[in-house]
């Protein structure tokens, strides 16, 4: 017997409809690509998204067609989120920091018919256009006055929107219909597409707004530093509409000073981004002796948030870090670190230890760890193994079947992370499975060593890689960037680490460099480091 409840499909368009009806005067503020601040409301955004939908239809866009963006976080990109998906087409947000060949690969693989781009990316677009024959139109996200001269026959975003009325009703269709498409960064091999649906997106928005997740409300002002081209800015454009939070979008300026200015000016309460962004903000705050007067929570994810960073934000700035873990294939949120009631009684030192892990799963994400034979390992906080996940906002496969069947028996998706789980549900990543260092048959966690190294006051950033060793197969080597004007020697750093890890975990060598290589999404590019130090001779 079915229940007698209405079967309302979970549509992305219903999020912006809800925001307009109930939070119509709540602001969306963006720093424009061309400078200056743009300010309007959910009501205006919804009107323009409907105008945009009509414009897209007039350009021949049909349900299931792919429409690409190469754009910063701003109001036009936000309108595309709703305009494209709302009419039943698929928004393919492409990461403009990838190599041009990769961008062209994605546009071709996705078969994008239209590409919307911010003016910053005109040279990129002109470079790839000859290799992207399937693109019918390139649309510059600006007004007529700023439309650049180009060898391409560009369309103008504002002309398109203004040429159409907002007299448009969002269609209702199967909630499992594809809504957006993000490619994984692909440090090895070609990028693969994660294809989200209306249902998965709305459920993820519900889940991520929960109190023990990002705790979003109509009292919050949210600034996503995480790009709209990177896993849908961790779902914030949807979750903020659902919660009625004010949105502040930073455009292209992601340096500490520019972010600080927006935080204070717009009274931001919540922000989200990868650790390297927060490193930049902390340096700015400390150098100028500034305080954050309204920020309450910073969501840090994408790679491990260094313990020293979590502590500094809390102790020196009164900001709670929400350490979060996820991946493109998971829409992306999987876990968020928040304490339980019973933890509030813990000593400061015990609480401190607890808040360093990647947190507990949000309802909707099921997790387990397994050994090499696929046998489930105990949830004791000690055993570590391959982390598998399943749930309604986790991929069942990649776009166009790339990579074949990616699920294990029982529908489990292998994350490629190695982790521990404990009886309270807390998960701790010990490594990427390809980064873990295998020394004499035992595993050494590169992340743990990196966290320890960056807790030294003179260290800005650190990476640990495995280097070939005749006796142990691999031994850890530490690559370090010093903070400006800090003297630190190999011996001093090793002495600092010596009594804090097992003896055989201590790196065999320390090398100082000016900077570390990062991927287009801000993660340490360890493949490059391993290549650079392939023939490095360890002193041992």
Q: What whole-number distance in Å separates Cα of residue 107 and Cα of residue 135?
A: 8
Residue of 474, 450, 475 lying closest to 462 (CA atoms): 450
In terms of Cβ atoms closer than 10 Å to its own Cβ (0-12, 13-18, 19+), residue 128 is buried
* Residue 368 backbone dihedrals phi, psi, to 5 degrees: -150, 160
* Closest to ligand ADP by CB, 146 or 528: 528
C-alpha 365/C-alpha 1 separation (Å) is 28
Cβ-based nearer residue to ligand ADP, 154 or 520: 520
- Spatial separation of the C-alpha atoms in residues 10 and 5, rounded to whole Å: 14
* Residues of this chain that bind ligand ADP (CB under 6 A): 184-185, 230-231, 301-304, 323-328, 332, 358, 415-417, 429, 432, 521
CB of 514 to ligand ADP, least distance (A): 24
* Comparison of 216 and 327: residue with beta carbon closer to ligand ADP: 327
Instruction: Report the residue number, 181 or 324, with the smaller CB distance to ligand ADP.
Output: 324
| Closer residue to ligand ADP (CB): 308 or 468 | 308
- Nearest approach in angstroms of CB 358 to ligand ADP is 5
Report how far apart the first and last C-alpha atoms of the chain are (Å, whole number).
Answer: 70
Q: Are 430 and 482 in contact (CB under 8 A)?
A: no
Cβ proximity to ligand ADP, 320 vs 358, nearer residue: 358
**Ramachandran category for residue 111: left, alpha or beta (phi over 0 → left; psi -120 to 50 → alpha):** left
**Which of 27, 111, 126, 443 is the catalytic position?**
443
The residue from 329, 448, 450, 461 that is catalytic is 329
393 carries an active-site annotation: no
- Minimal distance in Å, beta carbon 327 to ligand ADP? 3
Decide if 338 is catalytic: no
Q: Which among 467, 441, 447 is positioned nearest to 535, based on CA atoms?
A: 467
Return the H-helix or E-strand segment holding 109.
Answer: helix 100-110
Mark whether 111 is an active-site residue. Answer: no
Q: Least distance (Å) from ligand ADP to the CB of residue 532?
A: 21
Which residue number has the CB closest to ligand ADP?
Answer: 327
Residue 443 is a catalytic residue: yes
Shortest distance (Å) from residue 233 CB to ligand ADP? 10
CB closer to ligand ADP, 238 vs 325:
325
Using alpha carbons, select from 66, 73, 25 the residue that is nearest to residue 45: 25
What stretch of H or E contains 157?
helix 157-162
Q: Which is catalytic among the residues 288, 434, 438, 500?
A: 438
Please report, for residues 89, 302, 450, the alpha-carbon distance to residue 527 in angstroms, rounded to integers and kept in the order given: 36, 17, 16
CB-nearer residue toward ligand ADP: 207 or 302: 302
Active-site hit among 184, 335, 338, 420:
184
What is the spatial distance between Cα 465 and Cα 496, in angstroms, rounded to a whole number? 19
Q: How far is the CB of 208 from ligand ADP (least distance, A)?
A: 12
> What angle (nearest 5°) sits at the alpha carbon of residue 18, between those of residues 17 and 19?
90
The whole-angstrom distance between residue 23's C-alpha and the CA centroid of its chain comes to 26
Cβ 335 vs Cβ 324: under 8 Å: yes
Q: Are 510 and 476 in contact (CB under 8 A)?
A: no
Q: How far apart are CA 537 and CA 192, in angstroms?
A: 36
- CA nearest neighbour of 120 among 182, 70, 73: 70
Minimum distance of ligand ADP from residue 498's CB (angstroms): 25
CA angle, 95 as apex, 295 and 79 as ends, to 5°? 65
Beta bridge partners of 224: 272
Least gap, CB of 463 to ligand ADP (angstroms): 13
Q: Which residues are catalytic?
A: 184, 329, 438, 443
């Amino acid at each position: 017997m079915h229940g007698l409840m209405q079967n309302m499909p979970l549509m992305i368009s219903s999020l912006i409809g809800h925001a307009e009806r109930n939070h119509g005067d709540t602001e969306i503020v963006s720093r424009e690509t061309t400078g200056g601040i743009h300010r309007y409301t959910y009501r205006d955004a919804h009107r323009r998204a409907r105008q945009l939908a009509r414009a897209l239809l007039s350009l021949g866009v049909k349900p299931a067609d792919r429409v690409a963006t190469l754009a910063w976080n701003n109001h036009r990109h936000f309108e595309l989120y709703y305009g494209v998906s709302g009419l039943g087409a698929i928004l393919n947000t492409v990461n403009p920091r990838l190599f041009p060949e990769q961008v062209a690969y994605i546009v071709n693989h996705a078969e994008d018919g239209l590409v919307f781009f911010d003016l910053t990316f005109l040279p990129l677009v002109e470079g790839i256009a000859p290799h992207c024959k399937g693109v019918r139109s390139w649309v510059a996200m600006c007004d007529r006055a700023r439309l650049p001269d180009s060898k391409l026959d560009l369309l103008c975003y504002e002309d398109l929107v203004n040429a159409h009325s907002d007299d448009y009703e969002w269609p209702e269709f199967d909630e499992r219909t594809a809504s957006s498409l993000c490619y994984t960064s692909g440090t090895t091999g070609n990028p693969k597409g994660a294809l989200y649906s209306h249902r998965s997106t709305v459920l993820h928005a519900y889940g991520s707004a929960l109190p023990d997740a990002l705790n979003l409300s109509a009292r919050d002002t949210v600034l996503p530093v995480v790009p709209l081209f990177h896993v849908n800015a961790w779902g914030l454009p949807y979750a903020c509409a659902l919660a009625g939070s004010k949105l502040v979008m930073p455009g292209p300026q992601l340096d500490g000073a520019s972010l600080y200015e927006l935080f204070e000016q717009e009274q931001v309460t919540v922000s989200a981004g990868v650790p390297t962004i927060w490193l930049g903000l902390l340096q700015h705050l400390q150098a100028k002796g500034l305080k954050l007067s309204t920020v309450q929570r910073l969501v840090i994810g994408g790679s491990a948030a260094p313990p020293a960073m979590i502590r500094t934000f809390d102790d020196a700035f009164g900001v709670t870090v929400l350490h979060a873990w996820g991946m493109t294939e998971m829409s992306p949120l999987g876990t968020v670190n928040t304490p339980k009631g019973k933890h509030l009684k813990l000593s400061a030192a015990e609480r401190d230890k607890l808040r360093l892990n990647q947190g507990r799963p949000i309802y909707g994400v099921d997790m387990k760890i397994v050994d090499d034979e696929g046998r489930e390992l105990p949830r004791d906080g000690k055993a570590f193994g391959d982390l598998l996940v399943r749930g309604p906002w986790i991929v069942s496969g990649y776009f166009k079947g790339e990579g074949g069947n990616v699920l294990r028996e029982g529908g489990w998706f292998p994350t490629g992370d190695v982790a521990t789980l404990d009886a309270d549900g807390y998960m701790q990543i010990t490594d990427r499975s390809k980064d873990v260092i295998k020394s004499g048959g035992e595993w050494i966690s590169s992340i743990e060593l990196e966290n320890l190294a960056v807790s030294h006051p003179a260290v800005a950033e650190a990476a640990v890689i495995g280097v070939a060793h005749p006796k142990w197969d691999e031994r850890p080597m530490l690559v370090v960037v010093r903070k400006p004007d800090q003297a630190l020697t190999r011996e001093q750093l090793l002495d600092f680490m010596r009594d804090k890890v097992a003896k055989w975990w201590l790196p065999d060598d320390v090398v100082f460099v000016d900077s570390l290589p990062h991927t287009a999404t801000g993660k340490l590019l360890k493949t490059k480091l391993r290549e650079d130090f392939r023939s490095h001779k360890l002193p041992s």
